[in-house]
Structure 1
Amino acid sequence: MSSSVSGSIRKRIAYLSSPELGIRMDKAKILKWKFLLLSTLIFILWYTVRSPRTYRDIPQPHGPPKTCPLRISEQTITPLNNTKHFLVSAYMDQREKGLDIRIIGIFKRDSIQPLYCLFCCAGQLSNKTSPATILQHSDNFGFPFVTTDVMCQIPENCMATHVSVLTQPDSGMVFNQTLLPIRNQKTSEKEEKKLQFDFTVCISNLFGDYNNVLQFAQTLEMYRLLGVDRVVIYNTSCGPDLDRLLQSYSQEGFVEMVPWPIDHHLKPSRGWLFSESGGDVHYFGQLTTLNECIYRSMDRSRYVLLNDIDEIIMPYQHNNLMSLMDMLQQQHPNTGVFLIENHIYPKKPFGGNEKGLLHQWKGVPGFDILEHIYREEPNRNIYHPHKLIVQPRMVQQTSIHEVLMKYGEYFKVPPDVCRIIHSPISMPRPPEQLHLDTRLWDFTDKLLPSVTTVLRRAGLLGSQGQE
């Protein structure tokens, strides 16, 4: 009995240790794992189709990822879902308690509704929204769309990098929303005091087939001589020659071009008053771009000049803008807005012994601002416009000729200290109404060669200019 049992045991051991059995067991394990994997994939697919997706379904990493789990806008004008409004840019602005983020937008005035802010905090969406404060700018000139600030409060323990605006307080279904990057992020007190530029000029809008190359080059080079470090230009469209010049300036770094396709979203007006010009928004969104430029420059530039390309803010008792502003700030230490009086310099043909257009500039599109040396005396008995030099950190909202909301005081600079040389294309006046003013000629020794250099670099001089 014992020998038969032991023989049976030996046979069973031999069977269990045979290679054929090992192969059969490995195949069984593989089939089992394949079944489990297939079952898991089927369940995930069923759950995804059957269940609504929210941002909470996205696995959250332990460390902050590089991007937020929503689409980030790369446009300068972003439509706001489920509204007639548009968002432009978002900036950190903690000058007012409880209002940390300022989103600059263009809103339809008769369609204002409650809005809510949703933040991306170091790569993760916040689990709740915060109600927004909506501030329409007081200047709209009668147009249906107005520059509007959406003010948001950042939630506690949120390192906010991006923000989205919602029409409903529920933050669950947000996958069709777009995030705006939050600019002017502050990482330390030391960094807050560090400014890259002394002076920035904001040119609000280029549109149509504007191609006045010579005037543009002269004005930019004049500003460079006066101490301007950067010029920001909002470009809807321009002529081909001017585009070549601006591309050259952009590559150099002196000009920052901001695409401004306002005509893709609204019907922009070419005039400043709705009752006369019609359209959706004032003068291609000029009010919005001026405000956007102030916040774009707030942490980078000590001063910002708000004016048009046919205007030069010219000091008359100093040879550069820094010397002018040092004097004005010493005399008016609490002032953040300086109003510069506008003076028109219409074109008047030169006489026989006066300088004319340089030979090497002939053929360059546009006119020579050095020919505009006759100044019209303004009528101060009626409203007379000014343009602005501002400290951007002391401005909340601006219009074209005045600041709407600010900190500190403002000061009207006497015209014998500083005035605007405004050179329109053609505004003839009787000679008895004009006064000779050759202030621009004080800079010709440096201005003429610098203009020639930039025109040549952009390939805009003819064969005569290349000699």
Structure 2
Amino acid sequence: MDAATSLKKKLALPLIVALIFILLFNVNLPNNNNKSIPKPSGPAGVCSLGVSEQTITPLKNTKHLLVSAYVDQRVKDLDIRIIGIFKRDSIQPLHCVFCCTNVLSKTTPATILQHSDHFGFPFTTTDVMCQIPQNCKATRVTLLTTPDKESASDSTWLPIRNQKSDRQKEENMKFDFTVCISNLFGDYNNVLQFAETLEMYRLLGVNRVVIYNTSCGPELDRLLQNYSQEGFVEMVPWPIDKHLNPSRGWLHSEHGGDVHYFGQLTTLNECIYRSMERSRYVLLNDIDEIIMPYQHKDLMSLMNTLQNQNPNTGVFLIENHTYPKKTFNQNKWGPLPQWNGVPGFDIMVHIYREEPNRNIYHPHKLIVQPRAVQQTSVHDVLMMSATKFKVPPDVCRIIHSPIRTPTDPPLDRLHVDTRLWDFKDKLLPNVIKVLRRAELLRSETQN
């Protein structure tokens, strides 16, 4: 073998190894002109960046906040509804721009609709309506303060939800009832009432409970995480206190702050649109309230009757009844379980009902068909496409068991109401089971 042949054999193996290394690890070799490989740029690159993963997204160059975007073809020529929280004295023209299969659309003017209920607070729930340009299969949307779409390069995009055909909407209507709990905040830790209320709703036929959570106590957080893993509860992070000074009250002149009751109005509206294509009915109420049928075994039986009697109705108003905490003679009414070590109180002992004063304004809560509602407040609907009906309290009423009540009426002015006890043979074992699963029961209560 000559020297040249020997040298070729010695070099062949290292060259093969180097080639394999380049192919496997995608090593970029410099070309003869010493130019780097260009990165994708232009509209397609813009569309692929900056999609918000937050539930509250600041809108650039404004004092406003964006929450979510939904398809809404009920408003003529305005296809997309963006739910936000806007500062009322700083409204300016806005422009919509879409990602159309990863390509920027032209801008279209936005229509801004402030909700009429804001209770005097500087910030209010606001809908921004956008029209999708023709031949645009939109997947994301953002808002601009100028009609120049090039300024979208550093904007944050919202994914567009509820994009389904009518047939798909019917096929995906997998829930009969969704309960929307507007806000948890502070150190609220009423575990026992929460567990009893959720298990009561399960017995009444509720399929999903959506909770907007700013903060809560550690034991309640453990309970809710357990419900979330099971799939019965959907937790929506709601860090409103990171963006505004939220009020703990409902009236700005009395309570101050930037926005009503930790953004309660916004979360109720957001929950309606979140549930619009997946739930036949939505219940809008607080966690210390149970919308309870009195002549039917569950909510579906109730709604079948109400809809047959009121076929064009999409909003049902349920009267609030307060059940203040009063001691009662357990020897007379029978023993109830002791919940040693569980934070909160037992709503099963709230059997005394206060009759509302109907000579003054008396609040209701709502059961709605979500597709019939465009805007809602706490106690009534602001915009809808159907009629509404006040349900007689002997048919259905709210069992409202607050932590405290503004008045303390004597027993002779209260009515005994043990409707919850009709369910206790199933309710109490279910509550024990869920508390034990979340490791919130003391060992002596597990026997």
Q: TM-score, normalised by structure 2?
A: 0.90
TM superposition shift of 1:37: 2.5
Residues 1:242 and 2:220 aligned together: yes
Q: Is the 8 A contact 1:203 1:308 kept in 2?
A: yes
State which of 439, 445, 460 in structure 1 corresponds to 2:419.
439
Aligned counterpart, 2:311: 333
Cα distance in 2 between the residues matched to 1:366 and 1:418:
26
Aligned counterpart, 1:109: 88
Q: Is the 8 A contact 2:169 2:278 kept in 1?
A: no
Residues 1:319 and 2:297 aligned together: yes
Aligned counterpart, 1:22: none
Q: Is the 8 A contact 1:54 1:173 kept in 2?
A: no
Q: Is the 8 A contact 2:191 2:223 kept in 1?
A: yes
TM superposition shift of 1:125: 1.8
TM superposition shift of 1:96: 1.2
TM superposition shift of 1:463: 1.1
Residues 1:254 and 2:241 aligned together: no
Cα distance in 2 between the residues matched to 1:418 and 1:34:
76
Q: Is the 8 A contact 2:144 2:151 kept in 1?
A: no
Cα distance in 1 between the residues matched to 2:300 and 2:274:
21
Q: Is the 8 A contact 1:203 1:306 kept in 2?
A: yes
Moved over 4 A (4+): 33-36
Q: Is the 8 A contact 1:305 1:388 kept in 2?
A: yes
SS at match of 1:276: helix
State which of 427, 441, 452 in structure 1 corresponds to 2:432.
452
Residues 1:369 and 2:347 aligned together: yes
TM superposition shift of 1:433: 1.4
State which of 163, 182, 190 in structure 1 corresponds to 2:167.
190
Aligned counterpart, 2:72: 93
Between the two proteins, the alignment pairs up a number of residues equal to 415
Cα deviations across residues 386-420 of structure 1 (Å, max 9, x unaligned)? 00000000000000000000001000000000000
Aligned counterpart, 1:387: 365
SS at match of 1:250: helix
Cα deviations across residues 112-145 of structure 1 (Å, max 9, x unaligned)? 000011101122222x111000000000000000
User: Where does the alignment leave 5 or more consecutive residues of structure 2 unmatched?
Assistant: 1-28
Cα distance in 2 between the residues matched to 1:445 and 1:255:
23
TM superposition shift of 1:466: 2.4
State which of 184, 190, 201 in structure 2 corresponds to 1:206.
184
Residues 1:466 and 2:439 aligned together: no
SS at match of 1:447: helix
Aligned counterpart, 2:390: 412
SS at match of 2:297: coil
State which of 246, 252, 256 in structure 2 corresponds to 1:274.
252
Aligned positions of 1:304-315 closer than 5 A: 304-315=282-293
Amino acid at match of 2:67: V
Residues 1:55 and 2:57 aligned together: no
Cα distance in 1 between the residues matched to 2:133 and 2:391:
43
Aligned counterpart, 1:84: 63
Residues 1:37 and 2:37 aligned together: no
Amino acid at match of 2:169: E
Aligned counterpart, 1:145: 123
Cα distance in 2 between the residues matched to 1:445 and 1:357:
11
Structure 1 pair 105–34 and aligned structure 2 pair: CA distance change class (3 A): closer
Cα distance in 1 between the residues matched to 2:308 and 2:409:
39
TM superposition shift of 1:238: 0.2
Aligned counterpart, 1:75: 54
Cα distance in 1 between the residues matched to 2:219 and 2:31:
68
Cα distance in 1 between the residues matched to 2:158 and 2:112:
17
Q: Is the 8 A contact 1:55 1:172 kept in 2?
A: no
TM superposition shift of 1:68: 3.5
Structure 1 pair 36–230 and aligned structure 2 pair: CA distance change class (3 A): same
TM superposition shift of 1:167: 0.6
User: Where does the alignment leave 5 or more consecutive residues of structure 1 unmatched?
Assistant: 1-32, 60-66
Structure 1 pair 436–124 and aligned structure 2 pair: CA distance change class (3 A): same
TM superposition shift of 1:356: 5.1
Q: Is the 8 A contact 2:107 2:147 kept in 1?
A: yes
Cα distance in 2 between the residues matched to 1:369 and 1:218:
7
TM superposition shift of 1:363: 1.2
Amino acid at match of 1:122: T
State which of 144, 150, 161 in structure 2 corresponds to 1:172.
150
Q: Is the 8 A contact 1:68 1:123 kept in 2?
A: yes
Q: Is the 8 A contact 1:345 1:376 kept in 2?
A: yes
Q: Is the 8 A contact 2:30 2:36 kept in 1?
A: no
TM superposition shift of 1:352: 4.4
**Structure number, greater radius of gyration:** 1
TM superposition shift of 1:189: 2.9
Cα distance in 2 between the residues matched to 1:298 and 1:206:
22
Q: Is the 8 A contact 2:96 2:130 kept in 1?
A: yes
Aligned counterpart, 1:4: none
Aligned counterpart, 2:14: none
Cα distance in 1 between the residues matched to 2:190 and 2:336:
15
SS at match of 2:188: coil
Cα distance in 2 between the residues matched to 1:36 and 1:173:
37
TM superposition shift of 1:357: 4.6
Aligned counterpart, 2:24: none
Amino acid at match of 2:437: R
SS at match of 2:149: coil
Cα deviations across residues 2-50 of structure 1 (Å, max 9, x unaligned)? xxxxxxxxxxxxxxxxxxxxxxxxxxxxxxx977532x449x7xxx9xx
Q: Is the 8 A contact 1:164 1:177 kept in 2?
A: yes
Q: Is the 8 A contact 2:197 2:288 kept in 1?
A: yes
Amino acid at match of 2:56: I
Amino acid at match of 1:276: E
Amino acid at match of 2:434: V
TM superposition shift of 1:69: 2.1
Cα distance in 2 between the residues matched to 1:189 and 1:282:
35
Q: What's the Cα RMSD here?
A: 1.7
